[in-house]
């Protein structure tokens, strides 16, 4: 492994360990896992997760995987940003940034390390959400669990959202006037605009092809 990769790996490792040592991370992780039970109605309630032509989709690995991956993708797209958006600011406050600045490290290496740290953090959260959804299928499901089907659905739906949010979080923190509360407010409207464009394309039957350039989940279209 080259020196550059070692430095990037060290940043990712330190960022990952620091985040998971915080009690707030455990709380958010448990809440996200519990949302699998809160967001998806039990069959006995008469409500459904997915309806097609008025018919309820059976709770199997395909349906639950698709539904929970879509919900997880939306969670990452909005709330995930606010969980990871303080990575660089936290280094400044804790003075870890001073240590990083005193090492023979390029700015690109530091930013890439933070980006990869964001990816690892969000991917871990979504993996926990996926496992929680699998457990819910065992309790509420109407078919045998198929773990590989779950994994395929999550790999299809979530990577684009994780990469998008991780990159935007680093970008906003690197721009002075977007690195604080202004950036947090701006991102909300930024994300809502992208979501609106994606919904508009679907409602129009795909006639707004240009809107797909702004849809981080376009891979599922």
> Is 198 inside a domain boundary?
no
Question: For residue 9, is it within any domain?
Answer: yes
Domain range for 157 is 3-176
pLDDT of the residue at 218? 46
Q: What is the pLDDT of residue 197?
A: 66
Q: Which residues of 91-117 are buried (b: 16+ CB within 10 A; e: fewer)?
A: beeeeeeeebeeeebeeebbbbbbbbb
* Residues of the chain below pLDDT 50: 218-221
Place of tokens 């740290």: 117
Residue 39 included in any domain? yes
Question: What's the pLDDT at 107?
Answer: 75
Residue 150 in any domain: the answer is yes
The C-alpha atoms of residue 157 and residue 154 are separated, in whole angstroms, by 5
Please indicate, yes or no, if residue 95 is contained in any of the structural domains. Answer: yes
For residue range 32-70, list pLDDT tens digits in order: 777 767 777 776 766 767 777 777 777 888 888 888 888
Q: What is the pLDDT of residues 187-212, one digit of tens each?
A: 888 888 776 666 655 556 556 565 55
Residue 172 lies in a domain: yes
Is the pTM higher than 0.85? The answer reads no
Classify residue 197: in a domain, yes or no: no
Give the pLDDT score at 50: 72
For residue 75, the model assigns a pLDDT of 82
Domain count, the chain: 1
Q: Is 186 among the domain residues? A: no
In whole angstroms, give the CA distance from residue 16 to residue 37: 27
């Amino acid at each position: 492994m080259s020196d550059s990769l070692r430095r990037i790996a060290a940043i990712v490792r330190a960022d990952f360990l620091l985040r998971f040592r915080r009690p707030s991370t455990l709380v958010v992780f448990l809440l996200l896992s519990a949302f699998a039970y809160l967001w998806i109605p039990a069959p006995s309630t008469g409500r459904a997760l997915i309806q097609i032509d008025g018919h309820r989709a059976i709770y199997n690995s395909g349906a639950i995987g698709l539904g929970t991956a879509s919900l997880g993708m939306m969670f990452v797209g909005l709330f995930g940003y606010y969980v990871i958006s303080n990575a660089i600011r936290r280094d400044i406050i804790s003075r870890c940034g001073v240590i990083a600045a005193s090492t023979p490290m390029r700015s690109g290496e530091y930013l890439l390390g933070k980006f990869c740290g964001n990816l690892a953090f969000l991917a871990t959260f979504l993996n926990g959400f996926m496992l929680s959804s699998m457990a819910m299928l065992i309790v509420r499901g109407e078919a045998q669990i198929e773990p590989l089907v779950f994994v395929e659905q999550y790999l299809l739906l979530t990577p684009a959202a994780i990469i998008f949010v991780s990159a935007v979080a680093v970008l906003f923190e690197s721009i002075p006037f977007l690195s604080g509360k202004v950036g947090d407010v701006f991102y909300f409207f930024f994300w809502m605009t992208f979501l609106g464009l994606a919904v508009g394309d679907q409602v129009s039957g795909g006639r707004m092809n240009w809107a797909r350039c702004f849809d981080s989940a376009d891979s599922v279209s």
